[in-house]
Amino acid sequence: MPIQKLSVFLGILFIVTACTSKQVGNADEIPYTIETLAEGLNVPWEMDVAEDGRIFFTERPGAVRVMVKGELLSDPVIEMGEPFRSGGEGGLLGLVLDPQFADNHYIYVYHTYETNGEIQNRILRLKEENNRASIDQVLLDGLAGAQNHNGGRMKIGPDGYLYITAGDRYEPELAQEEQSLGGKILRIGLDGSVPADNPFPGSPVYSYGHRNPQGLAWHPETKQLYASEHGQSAHDEINLIEPGANYGWPLIEGDEKQPNLKSPLIHSGEETWAPSGMTFVSQGPWKGQLLVANLRGNQVLKLSFRDQGKIVDDADTLFQDWGRIRNVYEGADGTVYIITNNRDGRGLPAEGDDKIYQLKPNS
């Protein structure tokens, strides 16, 4: 596989220092009004908001759910059937609505399944009608799967293509293998085709050398792609993604360097974040800042950048009393949504878990 030239090392170590946790609802520190939008959910993983205001989200055990005018409908949009498999970190994971959802009603989902005794992942296109959906097409299948390290995040980029994070299924060598889709960030068309300008002709691979990436976000001004990634033993990463670049796993991690391998913008050092979904805030009081959900870290990281988004300028920690946080999402109106995952088998569920919170910018 071709190797890109070594980029300028942008930050060998930037451990988030002990920050005072922001007090939820303290107007002096959180310039948003915080409300619980939904509770009692079953490990919600990803969400997207339609133009008509409906909120679609996945629950990892296998259901796509929908909220209409602030009310959660009791009947799921769809429940996954055979060969769907939920276990460990696998199940129904990523979800994104088509940019033309109002017209074509397409929903894209990422899920784990089992075939001939082997765990894999695949991407489906669903067709929605009156808050119910059916499978329309399998866009991509045979992605590396296992009990853990299934990746699973999907986002549609500014270029209109579907970007996907794929884990290494605990086989680190897959991240460096050209023919494997494990340990990669992938890029395909909304019909499952491979874009002609992908860095490796005929392949959906967009970048490689990843361990278990679970977050994708584009800077609202520079349009640069960033990804979050779980480290092996702490050393969780935020990376600036370039097409065709090698991000080093399992050859390097943390401060380690080798020629032609990309180093992270920031990593957690000896701490563990377990970073998952993330979003750049495009408007409001946190405009231009990156919010990153942390599972093991039980927090949201808020990162500011300089030098055209190439250097982390400041880092803060928020919402440390909410437990495991799976995802952060920004709606078109500037509302920020946060999803907890205290019922995922590794948390300590509190009353009402799991929840989706909404943060509306204060006027």
Known catalytic residues are 149
> What is the C-alpha radius of gyration for the chain, rounded to an integer number of angstroms?
19
Distance from C-alpha of 243 to C-alpha of 61, rounded to nearest angstrom? 33
Cα dihedral sign for 203, 209, 215, 219? Answer: negative
Which of 248, 123, 278, 91 has the alpha carbon at shortest distance from 190?
123
Neighbours of 40 (CB within 10 A): 11
Which of 104, 155, 106 has the alpha carbon at shortest distance from 134?
106
Which of 147, 172, 122 has the alpha carbon at shortest distance from 346?
147
What is the helix, strand, coil percentage profile of the chain, to 5?
0, 40, 55
Which of 304, 351, 296, 349 has the alpha carbon at shortest distance from 326?
296
Tell me whether the omega of the peptide bond preceding residue 83 falls within 30 degrees of 0, making it cis: yes
